[in-house]
Structure 1
């Protein structure tokens, strides 16, 4: 009976979250986490080993989708004269985050969390305003680089959580870079193979596919790379991400496949992860201290991006678009949730800190989506004024 209630609750939340999102204009991820919190509070969701495993798979599938979202060609759209600015931007982000951690004596988790990137919320802005907005186009291009950096940061964080700063940690870092080096070589190798033998792609994923070979190959690749990471004791996130990146690089023309994988992930597995995450937040424990800490996290996330953006891109974007750019890159909802869950499960942050991160991710995503829309109107940046500050 208990499992029946658990399954039914998850199914209902997954079914109705998009509807509530459309009616309230609240990001669906925020809705899912909120419903998860309420369901956990009223006892409909509870600690269950099977649910935890599925939620973990949902998180890995989310990282797989992150790889599918990556378009390395966008990196090339960054003008050569902006390459220094982009580098400066990332250096400033981590430098300011480091200063904040030193001043307030925060642990390594905050150094990873505060500058983290996620394309999820940014893609919602792209759908609303299009890619022709100068500030948003730059945000998307930098977001691609930022998400790759974030995946590496998440993997390094996982190594630190497991080994500390001992010898095991440095071995883990070395292994990560070896894996990345081998991964790049393999990608180059497949590039050569597919260039010389373009028909090979059709054997892997045929144009006329009656046996769902595209899905079979994609999911199998996902599990194979995750299993490899498990075997060499590296965070599984990297394997999931590389699987998605491989598909994006060499089968990006298979738009139907990418759409099917994304729809299945965002429609089922990712929601379970967010619902489960919400259910772990105890509403009855929330207090002013947690909310205050959440507000400070949001303030730090936005502040370091505003400062870094004005230092790196003011001459290029001017005031209005620099502000919009900074805010658009300040919504790392999915990765903040992932980092908080990872750190909490490894007892690196307290329960209250964990709750603060989850609440911060929700409020940050909701507030900035609304605030950016307001600023866009206040700045008079309608569609006939694209590219002007």
Structure 2
């Protein structure tokens, strides 16, 4: 009990000063938070018996919730068929090459999810810095949206395999998952019809002008309700959090400021605690271990090489420079790579060395790719190749 004030001060200090350190070092904020967590863990400040792991788990699920908010199904379903087909082709190549590498080099099957996984987190950071007009970044956003849907499905299947193995229980769990997804589709269609018949109902639930934060309250209620449903059905909570986010983005798009309010809540408190906690679980010695660093570099190299090979499907439209920029922008799956590591270590499917390697690989990929993109953008300005129509 006497350690609790020290834990609170350490966590509060890390959350407070991380943005300033990230700004001064020009590093991604999540990477700095993980590194600060490494320091906190090294000094033994965090205790496994504290409430920090619970808050961190909530932060992780809220991160998946915010990932879902980035996916507006209405916009996704109106995507041009040619773009959609090539995006599917990109992922077929990506997952096929990943399977060949995992099989050929005898990696654990968990890497079949880790290597091709896609996350919107760092892509959104690029959008904040460069805007949506860059052709390669427009494409990265589309691929990121589809990739997150595929990645969530892959994470859910991975969690089921690790929990049940390939047994009858796993098949029953998959059946439950399919039933839940079918019920979710019906729910989305029913709500769409309801709001079509009663258009004022949407704004009654979430008024445009509201001083009682009904929008945040409803969003949080959906978040916890979907998590409760996942627990009851024995499914992975990640899926529930993601679907709750998609529901908010799809049906309450008139609340333009809502994603910013929820993002401030998440990235201002819950999510930093998750990143700091992840850092605290990585042994500080791992940052200087040759074997772990070598495995981390192998993971980063494979992730980047897979993206470059798969992105060649867009070479004719984008040109070489923008194709490589797109590949690098898609090579920073930090948040979902941490999700794979978290699920893997929680199920004892990977060693602590592999867990540390995945976390460090996520950090290395984020820092190196972000730096390369900034350098290339500065020294080799875009020549206005265009694949997508401007907004």
Q: TM (normalized to structure 1)?
A: 0.95
Q: Which residue matches 1:278?
A: 279
Which region of structure 1 is more displaced relative to structure 2, 335-344 or 194-203?
194-203
CA distance in 2, matches of 1:170, 1:318: 45
Q: Deviations over 1:114-170 (max 9, x none)?
A: 111111100111112211111110110111000111111111111111001111122
Contact 1:77 1:141 in 2 (8 A): no
Q: Deviations over 1:57-104 (max 9, x none)?
A: 111111111111113355467543333322211001111110111012
CA distance in 1, matches of 2:74, 2:127: 17
Asked whether 1:161 is paired with 2:152, we answer no
List structure 1 segments (4+ residues) > 4 angstroms apart after TM superposition. none
Q: Which residue matches 1:289?
A: 291
1:185-196 map, 5 Å:
185-196=186-197
Q: Which residue matches 1:344?
A: 345
Give 3-state SS (helix, strand or coil) of 2:116's partner. Answer: coil
1:49 is displaced (CA, Å) by 4.3
Q: Deviations over 1:293-313 (max 9, x none)?
A: 000000011011100111x21
Contact 1:97 1:115 in 2 (8 A): yes
CA distance in 2, matches of 1:131, 1:211: 33
Q: Deviations over 1:223-265 (max 9, x none)?
A: 1111011000000111111111111011122122221111100
CA distance in 1, matches of 2:286, 2:326: 36
CA distance in 2, matches of 1:308, 1:140: 16
Q: 1:305 aligns with which of 291, 307, 317?
A: 307
Q: Which residue matches 2:368?
A: 367
Give 3-state SS (helix, strand or coil) of 2:51's partner. Answer: helix
Q: 1:202 to 1:253 in 2, by over 3 A?
A: closer
CA distance in 1, matches of 2:300, 2:327: 13
Q: Which residue matches 2:71?
A: 70
Asked whether 1:174 is paired with 2:175, we answer yes
Matched length:
385
1:42 is displaced (CA, Å) by 1.4
CA distance in 2, matches of 1:259, 1:29: 18
1:386 is displaced (CA, Å) by 2.9
CA distance in 2, matches of 1:388, 1:202: 38
CA distance in 2, matches of 1:49, 1:343: 22
CA distance in 1, matches of 2:22, 2:251: 34
1:84-95 map, 5 Å:
84-95=85-96
CA distance in 2, matches of 1:125, 1:249: 23
CA distance in 1, matches of 2:135, 2:259: 27
CA distance in 1, matches of 2:52, 2:381: 47
Q: Which residue matches 2:237?
A: 236
1:388 is displaced (CA, Å) by 5.7
Which region of structure 1 is more displaced relative to structure 2, 204-213 or 99-108?
204-213
CA distance in 2, matches of 1:29, 1:4: 24
Q: Which residue matches 2:268?
A: 267
Give 3-state SS (helix, strand or coil) of 2:234's partner. Answer: coil
Contact 2:115 2:299 in 1 (8 A): yes
CA distance in 1, matches of 2:31, 2:78: 32
Contact 1:309 1:326 in 2 (8 A): yes
Q: TM (normalized to structure 2)?
A: 0.95
Unaligned runs of 5+ in 1: none
Which region of structure 1 is more displaced relative to structure 2, 126-135 or 266-275?
126-135
Q: Which residue matches 1:54?
A: 55
Q: 1:377 to 1:76 in 2, by over 3 A?
A: farther
Unaligned runs of 5+ in 2: none
CA distance in 2, matches of 1:34, 1:283: 9
